[in-house]
């Protein structure tokens, strides 16, 4: 086989790179035997209630504009947290955690519904709309500093987060009415599931107690925030604050 010009130099560079990578791998393996270089964790907990969101919009009913206001709850939700990280330098670590939380609740809805026979004669209706459960998934990247004291580990850090929100959004209301239609009562709300994402931040700390050289248990406290705008259609968007205060307990494995 003939080598292209400078072929031997290219081959030499590849060999040097492979050799350097092999040396780094050997050193990393040796270091891993001396002290933990990687951790993984999994646990569960809760995410604190978020801010209540009020959305006011217009929609056409009986050839007129109806005005509806929906107030979404800021409920606490269950939390699942899994992640891991690697030692970068001395006490500095880099890690990534995935969290998922879900909070249920009902939205309070009030609406001015136009009369089907007369103009400018709205009927006021109100009620609770269930099934507006909010599901939030987030990826938290973090640089952290680890302090070890005996079997105890204390970690502090922060970094960027990517939040993804799934939220049923109210788009219309259904009412019960009978002739002569001067009054109406709230029946239910029409919803549409919207999804979107946003970049935010996180800061946090954790305390671990190592039960053996490899296994331990601990508690993580984290605060993250990101604003997610759900585009419902046209120029209408509903802004939700994703994240919040989180507390999770679980297991830690280091190796």
| Domain ranges within the chain, ordered by starting residue | 1-34, 35-254
Return all residues near 160 (Cβ < 8 A) that are at least 6 apart.
140, 141, 199, 200, 201, 202
**H or E segment to which residue 6 belongs:** none
Whether 85 has a pLDDT exceeding 70, the answer reads: yes
Name the burial class of residue 116, with classes exposed (0-12), middle (13-18) and buried (19+) by CB atoms within 10 angstroms of its CB: middle
Whether 226 has a pLDDT exceeding 70, the answer reads: yes
Query: Where are the extended beta strands (E) located within 104-184?
Result: 107-113, 123-129, 134-149, 152-176
C-alpha closest to that of 223 among 199, 247, 192: 247
DSSP 33: H
Q: In this predicted model, what pLDDT tens digit does every residue of 109-156 receive, in sequence order? A: 999 999 999 999 999 999 999 989 999 999 999 999 999 999 999 999
**pLDDT given for residue 18 in this prediction:** 56
How confident is the model over 153-160, as a mean pLDDT? 96
Q: In this predicted model, what pLDDT tens digit does every residue of 9-45 receive, in sequence order? A: 454 455 445 545 543 454 455 444 456 789 999 999 9
Which CATH number describes the domain made up of 35-254? 2.40.160.20
Evaluate whether 231 touches 24 at the Cβ level (below 8 Å).
no
Whether 232 has a pLDDT exceeding 70, the answer reads: yes
CB burial string 64-80: b at 16+ within 10 A, e below: bebebbbbbbbbbbebb
pTM metric for this prediction: 0.80
**pLDDT given for residue 35 in this prediction:** 64
């Amino acid at each position: 086989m003939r080598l292209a010009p400078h072929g031997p130099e290219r081959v030499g560079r590849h060999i040097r790179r492979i050799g350097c990578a092999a040396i780094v791998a050997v050193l990393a393996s040796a270091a891993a035997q001396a002290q933990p270089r990687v951790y993984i964790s999994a646990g569960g907990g809760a995410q604190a209630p978020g801010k209540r969101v009020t959305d006011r919009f217009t929609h056409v009913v009986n050839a007129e504009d109806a005005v509806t206001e929906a107030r979404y709850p800021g409920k606490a939700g269950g939390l699942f947290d899994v992640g891991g990280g690697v030692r970068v330098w001395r006490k500095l670590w880099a890690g990534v955690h995935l969290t998922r939380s879900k909070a249920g609740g009902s939205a309070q809805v009030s609406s001015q519904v136009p009369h089907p026979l007369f103009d400018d004669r709205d009927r006021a209706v109100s009620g609770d709309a269930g099934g507006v459960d909010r599901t939030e998934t987030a990826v938290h990247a973090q640089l952290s500093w680890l302090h070890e004291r005996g079997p105890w580990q204390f970690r502090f850090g922060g970094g960027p987060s990517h939040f993804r929100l799934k939220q049923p959004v109210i788009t219309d209301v259904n009412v019960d009415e009978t002739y002569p239609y001067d009054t109406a009562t709230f029946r239910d709300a029409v919803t549409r599931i919207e999804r979107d994402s946003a970049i935010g931040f996180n800061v946090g700390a954790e305390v671990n107690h190592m039960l053996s050289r490899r296994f331990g248990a601990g508690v993580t406290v984290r605060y993250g925030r990101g604003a997610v705008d759900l585009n419902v259609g046209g120029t209408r968007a509903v802004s939700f604050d994703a994240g919040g205060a989180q507390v999770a307990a679980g297991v830690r494995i280091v190796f």
